Amino acid sequence: MTYARIPEHAWQASTYSGANGGECVEWAPAHTTVHGLVPVRDSKVAGGPVLMVSPEGWTALVGLARSQGA
């Protein structure tokens, strides 16, 4: 699947990211609303790869983070 580059202002830090700024997972909720996929990236490598997961996959990932006390 190809997709348009996601603008920087569309990304937001996950609420499960560390408060120190060094361990941030970011996602782009507006992209999810339009395209039905959740883009996820490492904030430390903003120009790096973007993992695209289904909304169900994102929910499972967040659930796993919760269960691990992240």
pLDDT digits (tens, 9 = 90+) for 5-56: 899 899 998 765 666 656 688 989 999 889 999 999 988 888 889 999 999 9
Q: Is 26 helix (H, G, I), strand (E, B) or coil?
A: strand
Burial class (CB in 10 A: 0-12, 13-18, 19+), 56: exposed
pTM for the full predicted model: 0.74
- Every domain of the chain and the residues it spans: 15-44
Does pLDDT of 3 surpass 60? no
pLDDT for 47 equals 85
